[in-house]
Amino acid sequence: MFVEKEKILTAKDLSKTFSNSSVQQHVLKNLNLSIYKGDFTVIMGNSGSGKSTLLYALSGMDRPSMGTITYFTDDSHTEISTYNNDKLAMFRRDHVGFVFQQNYLNDSMSALDNVMICGLLKNTDRKALTKKAKDLLSSVEINENDYRKFPTQMSGGQQQRVAVVRGVINSPEVLFADEPTGALNSQNTENVLDILSNLNNEGQSIVMVTHTIKAAERGNRIIYLADGVISDEIDLGPYAGDYKDESNPNLEISKERHQKLKNFLQDMGW
Ligand SMILES: Nc1ncnc2c1ncn2[C@@H]1O[C@H](COP(=O)(O)OP(=O)(O)OP(=O)(O)O)[C@@H](O)[C@H]1O
Ligand SMILES: [Mg+2]
């Protein structure tokens, strides 16, 4: 039986134009897109194609020049594209999480406090929040010894794991991630991708921008952006493990997914 996926948000006729001195640059051009609950959506495309701009618009980090972004939350419709800065900040606090390429942790606070400060914007029950923060940190293998540390005392991989926890501490409807492994070595990349996959398996909806096939394979829906418009997209089905790992019980599916993604990207001229 075909079950229609539940929409989290819809962007309609989205445009973003930057004006630099006398030149206008049309970065997003009448783009239409819906994001669905439970999906791990991946956005790919060449450098400068507008991926970050799209992510910032969808997440309410920035406003589009034209068009609408409607969230379907709390059984109601919320149109955020016209919100002022204060309303957008409140909306983000309540509904979205964000992970950047650079972790942007506050260096003057411990890892735990970095997570807590974000959680306290929304939650008043400090005790319950502390437990949730510690549980989440421990799920990404940041133990008590580590979460007392300041970001500068942690490895890049540990810092980014803390940043992911901060992104999900308020149980966002959707977690946005802009090249979250772009600054990590291969071991840490694998580690952070595993964390994102686990979160998605537990139901967390994710929208991630990436430049690598390795990261994109984690998604089930791959969207290709070219010059500010969506060229095409494919449905890959859920991540089935590493296609190179001979002990992977889903090896055949993984290999097929990998090939399908490669073919798609080749068609897109990637
Ligand atoms: N705040 C801004 N002011 C002016 N131009 C901008 C601004 N932000 C982005 N742009 C321009 O918009 C275009 C798209 O930028 P964007 O950052 O969305 O690309 P991207 O696809 O994320 O690229 P990359 O893969 O390199 O991160 C670029 O030409 C960029 O210079
Ligand atoms: Mg970018």
Question: By percentage, how much of the chain surpasses pLDDT 90?
Answer: 94
What DSSP letter does each residue of 199-215 carry, written as one string?
HHHTT-EEEEE-S-HHH
Q: Which residue, among 177, 154, 156, has the nearest Cα to 166 in the 3D structure?
A: 177
How far apart, in Å, do the first and last CA atoms of the chain sit?
35
How far apart, in whole angstroms, are the C-alpha atoms of residue 260 and residue 21? 43
Which of the four pLDDT bands, split at 50, 70 and 90, describes residue 1? low
What is the identity of the amino acid at 146? Answer: D
As a whole number, mean pLDDT of residues 248-264 equals: 98
Question: Can you tell me the mean pLDDT for 23-41?
Answer: 97
Residue 4's pLDDT is what? 81
Closest residue by CA, ligand 1 atom 3 = 18
The full set of domain ranges for the chain reads 7-265
pLDDT tens-place string over residues 176-216? 999 999 999 999 999 999 999 999 999 999 999 999 999 99
Q: With H, G, I as helix, E, B as strand and everything else as coil, classify residue 40.
A: strand
With a pLDDT cut of 70, the percent of the chain lying above it is 99
Of the candidate CATH numbers 3.50.50.60, 3.40.50.11030, 3.40.190.290, 3.40.50.300, the domain formed by 7-265 belongs to: 3.40.50.300
Q: What is the mean pLDDT of the chain?
A: 95
- Residues having CB within 6 Å of any atom of ligand 1: 18, 20, 25, 27, 45, 47-53
Looking at the CA of residue 228, tell me the nearest atom of ligand 1.
14
Helices and strands (H, E) in the chain, number of each type: 9, 10
Out of 15, 17, 18, give the residue to mutate to test ligand 1, the one with the largest number of ligand atoms within 8 Å of its CB: 18
Cα 27 to ligand 1 centroid, rounded to whole Å: 7
Predicted confidence (pLDDT) at residue 74 exceeds the cutoff of 90: no
In this model, does residue 3 exceed pLDDT 80?
A: no
What b/e readout covers 229-262, taking b as 16+ CB neighbours within 10 angstroms?
Answer: ebbebbebebbbbbbeeeeeebbebbeebbebbe
When pLDDT is cut at 50, 70 and 90, the band that residue 20 belongs to is confident
The answer to whether residue 2 scores a pLDDT higher than 90 is no
pTM of the model: 0.96
Give the SS3 label for residue 97.
strand
